[in-house]
Structure 1
Amino acid sequence: MEDYDEGIAFLGNWGRFQQMIFFLLCATAVPNGFNSLSIVFLGDSPAHHCLIPEGLNITEEWRKASIPTQVVNGETEYSRCRRYRLDLISNFSALGLSPSKDVNLSQVPLEGCSDGWTYSKEIYQSTIVTEVSTPH
């Protein structure tokens, strides 16, 4: 250890200048930490399901039934990436059929979310995912 101390003796002791530089460098760590951790909150993917277009002429009962449900961790929730085919749902609604009585929804084919997604605003009003509209 003596060799090390002798080797850096020309730098001087731990003085006022070294303390000032040390604390200024430490002070920059806080805002950089905020910036580095912001993606945890800004990049979160909130709960979502397929968008059912507002202009689609279906009853409210069919609008609620147009997204299949699934059980995840003991809770029933809407499927995130699938919906029943909207052309068939629209026809069933126009005929006055009821999703719970007249139509067996398990027999209706599914399709992807071609119109986008609806996001929950329960936790976040907006995130990168909701702005770009590409959930994972």
Structure 2
Amino acid sequence: MNDRTAGCVDGYYRNGTSGTCIKCLPGYIGPNCSVPCLEGLYGNECQQQCPSSCSICNIIDGSCPKDMINTTSHLIQRRSRSAFYIVTTFGCVTVLALLLVLMFYIYKLATQPLPQNFTFTVQDPESEAGRNIVNPACGSIYENI
């Protein structure tokens, strides 16, 4: 170190021409003003907080970069939107899977062969033969009266 850069306390730097110690410019702190403000802080001695409309601001004047304005709310909206899409997609896939299972079950039932002793007869409801049919195996409800 030479005499021109040494000897100033934190928050000051030595002017190379005059050799005097000068207070750090806004946005910088530390020995020889070599440390920029931490994220979220700006200004003289980094004592001011960035506006709530941006998470990172200009270390000198606290202005928000145009692409960082409302970053927090955009992230929340993006996360909410992506969660909505995930839930919606999962719901649709679940419904489709259930429909496929149901269609497969109906197909299996429809293509299953009928038992050999199964008979199916259709009778005309207008004909007399179709009225008062009693299954001989069950008997008549009037037999014991």
Global fold match (TM > 0.5): no
The structure whose Rg is larger is: 2
- Looking at both structures, which has the greater relative contact order when contacts are Cα pairs under 8 Å and sequence separation is at least 6? 1
Q: Write 1 or 2 for the structure with the bigger share of helix.
A: 1
TM-score normalised by the chain length of structure 1 = 0.28
Q: Write 1 or 2 for the structure with the bigger share of strand.
A: 1
